[in-house]
Structure 1
């Protein structure tokens, strides 16, 4: 439906204007630029004069520029959302560096411990079975072996297994810390793998975190680049 415009004059002086029944004392009170332009054209065609701005000492052109200037609004789309994956990525990369550092530290400690071990022949003198909180049974062998000072040392080994691979009276090779003979193990492939489990696990997790984070950041960067081009 078309809008209705009217101009009210008295002695060639503009008294008021109307836009769809809404009365304004001056065309410059109209916020809509299209309506304001329409009214100003009508006023000019009728030879009327609006001295409202002249009385205030304001130039018409300046007022028109001000009224026509689009308003600036801040919306959520103006926020740089690309910073979010960067922050999250930095956190995950920090976790990756921490895990890799722990892997390197525990790996060095494990290598030093193995290098300082002393090996000797021992004998399994007992096998103790214990159950954990879940009710699973684990066997812990007790071994005896001779120290360099000809003293016999007996200790129960940690790291129980669900099935006892050793029998009482069986001779085994013992690897132990000379500074702490209780820190001993039956030398085997499985026990050596057990020593390296923690550093390898930490290294794997650190690599997984770091590689996954870098891949995700690359994919996000590629997606943002394609979106900006489109």
Structure 2
């Protein structure tokens, strides 16, 4: 029974990760496919840490929408050090319905539908295998 619980929990964790990565894949694909291209200026680099304590650096970029509104968006994370500095000009993509979510064209290459999609499929397969293993171990213990 203990084996079933562990496998069921692993299945739930992998399923949750699949949903999260899949949601990001959909967002990135939407921005890359229907995003509007513009330029902006890096105004800050926000620093935080990931679960392991490693530094994560997020460039904060200000740009102007066609209606004249100034918007600040955040680029993807860079570990260790950011290739950007305050004052750098960058090209970016944004969606008009959510302009704060951006992709920095030259720097967010890792934010790619194939990477997110492949990772989502891998995590989904692991969730399915753990679930099947849990069912098999439960039926064998009965």
TM-score normalized with structure 1 length: 0.39
- In 1, distance between residues paired with 2:88 and 2:97? 26
1:154-195 per-position Cα deviation (integer Å, ceiling 9, x unaligned):
23334343211101111100111111111112112x524323
Mapping of residues 179-198 of structure 1, within 5 Å = 179-188=97-106, 191-196=108-113, 197-198=115-116
Unpaired runs of 5+ residues, structure 2, are 1-14, 129-142
Bigger relative CO (Cα 8 Å, ≥ 6 apart) = 2
User: What displacement does 1:136 show?
Assistant: 1.9
Partner of 2:67: 149
Structure with a larger share of its residues in strand: 2
Answer yes or no: is the 8 Å Cα contact 2:73–2:100 preserved in 1. yes
Map 1:1-230; keep pairs closer than 5 Å.
110-188=28-106, 191-196=108-113, 197-204=115-122
Deviations 1:69-128 (A, max 9, x none): xxxxxxxxxxxxxxxxxxxxxxxxxxxxx9xxx7xx766665344211111011111112
- Quote how far apart the aligned CAs of 1:205 are: 5.4
**Deviation (angstroms), 1:199:** 0.9
Residue by residue over 1:22-78, the C-alpha shift from the partner in whole angstroms, topping out at 9 and shown as x without a partner, is xxxxxxxxxxxxxxxxxxxxxxxxxxxxxxxxxxxxxxxxxxxxxxxxxxxxxxxxx
Structure 1 alignment gaps of length 5 or more: 1-97, 211-230
Q: 1:108 to 1:125 in 2, by over 3 A?
A: closer
Q: Please report how far the alpha carbon of residue 207 of structure 1 lies from its aligned counterpart in structure 2 after TM superposition.
A: 7.1
For residues 102 and 26 of structure 2, the distance between their equivalents in structure 1, rounded to whole angstroms, comes to 19
Post-superposition offset of 1:200: 1.1
Instruction: Tell me the matched-pair count.
Output: 117
Change in 2 beyond 3 A, CA 1:209/1:142: closer
Alignment root-mean-square deviation, CA = 3.8
- Change in 2 beyond 3 A, CA 1:126/1:200: same
The Cα shift of 1:206 comes to: 6.0
| TM-score, with length taken from structure 2 | 0.60
